[in-house]
């Protein structure tokens, strides 16, 4: 695949970015297109490695190694190298319904498992993926493809995030009549309201939704199943129901002062911002503004980074991001061998922007939050913290131990909790009587995707817990095949 010596002749290059101090002035995507000649060079770096771990897609040490969608990466890298873009697009769409999403927001476990990355820099897979699909839309190669025949079977999909959309897309291809229900005012789930516009422009989401609608999928917004429509009614009106409601119960921080005003969950902050941005360009003021405030983000993951970047665009006075874990090493450690996901220090876009603006990385590691302190009006004004170290207890488990004398008081008027999610909400699952697993997720065996309720299936974060967009798409596709098999006795849909 690619050029036999490409990985030796060319160095890894990724898409260029707008300068941090320029891009923080707007909400536009900041990745710049790569020249076609450069993309061909990068495609040529893909080795004829025999066993392409990049598309294996399995869990190693609890994290994804390779692409969960089993994208045919060496094939479309080679096709890009040879200038055969239209065929590359077909190969890309064969396994991935939404490469314009994964090409923007996926953390690229494929690159972590790239064979070139064993002793060098991996192939620029993510940039090539995004370039293929963007060119496909620009050239008009991506058009609606409604099924030629309908089966007469009806399926309801609850939730329009990546799992729900992928499941709906595949079931529609099989000829079933699919309706997707979304409680928000726009389709897309976390793609629309959970990921800021500068990472994923919402025009890209709406473009795909419009395409799916043109292929025959019905979308119903502002409708929460279990409240606006009874779950039992949905069962009666459909031959199968697929639950793709996500993992939306945010993990809280139950410490002293938590009830003070000015302390919010990260998703509340991000959702309100994006809705106001789409509705009015933030002119309506219907969002939580960080303008002129000292912001503290508690949580070091991608959502925390999104909060940092959003706060900066509001015009915050300062921003600090707290992480209870230690800083990751700069290079792979012996206990983290290839092809495991590389547990190395990542400097994401929000940290780059904060460093450019405030001259330092906003992250502080090994910090535990002790209590919030408010002013006389009940609004948060301080966060008291202490440094910790991780030590083994008598049972051999790693536990946090406070470092004496390391207490610190952080001035803040806005605290954002980006601590992850504990599981799906209860209303719909309880109404249907769906069994839960030990983590409170909807219980369904992976690969079968069926719950304990006849004709009710589940996919994505609602089944597996908080995870990646690429896993959600994979689960949506897998579930569609199982629903198709349930309805028709067999299925020709791929995973």
Residue 279 is assigned to a structural domain of this protein: yes
d(CA 378, CA 394): 42
Quick check: 170 pLDDT over 90? yes
Question: Do you know the residue count of the chain?
Answer: 495
pLDDT at 345 over 90: yes
The Cα 379–Cα 308 span in angstroms is 21
| DSSP string for 199-258 | TS-HHHHHHHHHHHHHTT-EEE-S--BTTTB-HHHHHHH-SEEEE-----EE-----BTT
Q: CA-CA distance, 318 to 332, in Å (whole number)?
A: 32
Task: For residues 314 and 295, give the distance between their C-alpha atoms in angstroms, rounded to a whole number.
Answer: 11
In a domain, 143, yes or no: no
Read off the CATH number of the domain in which 241 is found: 3.50.50.60
Select from 103, 138, 173 the last residue of a domain: 138
- The predicted pLDDT at position 398 comes to 94
* Domain match, 307 and 406 both: yes
Strands 263-265 and 456-458: unpaired
The predicted structure's pLDDT at residue 1: 61
Per DSSP (E only), the strands in 30-143 are 58-60, 63-65
Whether 22 and 169 map to the same domain: the answer is no
Rounded Cα–Cα distance for residues 334 and 377 (Å): 53
- 421-445: pLDDT as tens digits: 999 999 999 999 999 999 999 999 9
For position 430, what pLDDT does the model report? 96
Where does a domain end: 401, 419, 437? 419
pLDDT in tens, 12-60: 999 999 999 999 999 999 999 999 999 999 999 998 788 899 988 999 9
415, 476: one domain: no
Q: Quick check: is 29 in a domain? A: yes
pLDDT at 323: 97
Domain span including residue 308: 252-419
| pLDDT of 3 | 83
Using CA atoms, how far apart are residues 468 and 460, in angstroms rounded to an integer?
9
Q: What integer is the mean pLDDT of 410-427?
A: 97
- Shortest CA distance to 167 belongs to which of 445, 478, 465? 478
Q: Which long-range contacts (CB under 8 A, 24 or more apart) does 226-230 make?
A: 226/427, 226/428, 226/431, 227/427, 228/183, 229/181, 230/431
- pLDDT tens-digit series, residues 250-263: 999 999 999 999 99
CA distance 15 to 26: 19
**333/461 same-domain check:** no
Query: Average pLDDT, whole number, for the chain?
Result: 96
Residue 147 lies in a domain: no
The residues facing 390 across adjacent strands are: 400
pLDDT on residue 199? 97
For residues 107 and 128, give the distance between their C-alpha atoms in angstroms, rounded to a whole number.
14
Count Cβ atoms within 10 A of the Cβ of residue 50 and give its class: 0-12 exposed, 13-18 middle, 19 or more buried: exposed
Q: What is the rounded CA–CA span in Å between residue 253 and residue 380? A: 14
Kindly report the backbone phi and psi dihedral angles of residue 351, in degrees, each rounded to the nearest multiple of 5, phi listed first.
-70, -40
More confidently predicted of 62 and 261: 261
298 and 327 together in one domain: yes
Percent of the chain with pLDDT over 70: 100
Q: Could you tell me if 477 and 463 lie in one domain? A: yes
Question: pLDDT tens-digit profile of 233-291?
Answer: 999 999 999 999 999 999 999 999 999 999 999 999 999 999 999 999 999 999 999 99
Q: Is 1 part of a structural domain of the chain?
A: no
The pTM of the full predicted model, rounded to 2 decimals, is 0.96
Q: Which of 6-10, 141-145, 459-463 has the least mean pLDDT?
A: 6-10
Tell me: do 305 and 347 sit in the same domain: yes
| Residue 119, pLDDT score | 86
Return the C-alpha torsion angle 199, 2, 98, 16, nearest 10. Answer: 10
Q: Quick: pLDDT tens for 186-234.
A: 999 999 999 999 999 999 999 999 999 999 999 999 999 999 999 999 9
The count of structural domains within the chain is: 3
């Amino acid at each position: 695949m690619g050029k036999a010596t490409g990985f030796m002749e060319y160095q890894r290059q990724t898409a260029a970015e707008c300068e941090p101090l320029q891009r923080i002035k707007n909400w536009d995507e900041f990745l710049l297109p790569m020249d076609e000649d450069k993309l061909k060079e990068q495609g040529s770096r893909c080795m004829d490695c025999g066993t392409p771990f990049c598309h294996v897609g399995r869990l190693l040490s609890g994290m994804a190694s390779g692409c969960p969608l089993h994208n045919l990466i060496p094939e479309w890298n080679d096709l890009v190298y040879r200038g055969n873009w239209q065929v590359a697009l077909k190969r890309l769409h064969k396994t991935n319904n939404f490469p314009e999403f994964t090409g923007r927001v996926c953390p690229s476990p494929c690159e972590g498992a790239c064979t070139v990355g064993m002793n060098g820099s991996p192939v620029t897979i993510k940039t090539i993926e995004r370039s293929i699909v963007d060119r496909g839309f620009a050239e008009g190669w991506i058009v609606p493809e409604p099924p030629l025949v309908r089966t007469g079977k009806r399926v309801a999909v609850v939730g329009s995030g990546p799992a729900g959309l992928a499941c709906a897309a595949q079931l529609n291809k099989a000829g079933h009549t699919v309706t997707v229900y979304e409680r928000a005012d726009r389709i897309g789930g976390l793609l629309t309201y959970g990921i800021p516009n500068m990472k994923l422009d919402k025009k890209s989401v709406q473009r795909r939704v419009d395409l799916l609608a043109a292929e025959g999928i019905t979308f119903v917004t502002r409708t929460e199943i279990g409240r606006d429509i009874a779950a039992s009614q949905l069962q009666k009106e459909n031959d199968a129901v697929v639950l793709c409601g996500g993992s939306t119960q945010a993990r809280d921080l139950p410490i002293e002062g938590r009830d003070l005003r000015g302390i919010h969950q990260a998703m509340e902050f991000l959702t309100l911002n994006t809705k106001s941005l789409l509705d009015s360009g933030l002119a309506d003021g219907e969002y939580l503004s960080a303008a002129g405030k000292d912001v503290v983000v508690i949580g070091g993951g991608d959502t925390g980074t999104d909060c940092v970047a959003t706060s900066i665009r509001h015009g915050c006075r300062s921003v600090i991001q707290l992480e209870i874990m230690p800083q990751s090493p700069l290079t792979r450690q012996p206990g983290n061998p290839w092809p495991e996901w590389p547990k190395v220090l990542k400097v994401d876009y929000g940290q780059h922007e904060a460093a450019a603006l405030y001259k330092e990385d906003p992250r502080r590691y090994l910090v535990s939050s002790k209590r919030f302190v408010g002013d006389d009006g009940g609004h948060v004004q301080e966060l008291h913290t202490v440094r910790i170290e991780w030590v083994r207890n008598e049972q051999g488990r790693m536990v946090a131990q406070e470092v004496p004398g390391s207490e610190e008081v952080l001035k803040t008027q806005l605290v954002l909790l980006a601590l992850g999610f504990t599981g799906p909400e209860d209303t719909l699952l309880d109404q249907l009587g769906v069994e839960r697993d030990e983590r409170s997720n909807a219980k369904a065996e992976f690969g079968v995707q069926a719950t304990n309720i006849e004709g009710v299936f589940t996919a994505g974060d609602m089944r597996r817990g908080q995870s990646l967009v690429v896993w959600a798409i994979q689960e949506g596709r897998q579930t569609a095949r199982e629903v198709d098999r349930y309805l028709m006795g067999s299925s020709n849909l791929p995973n």
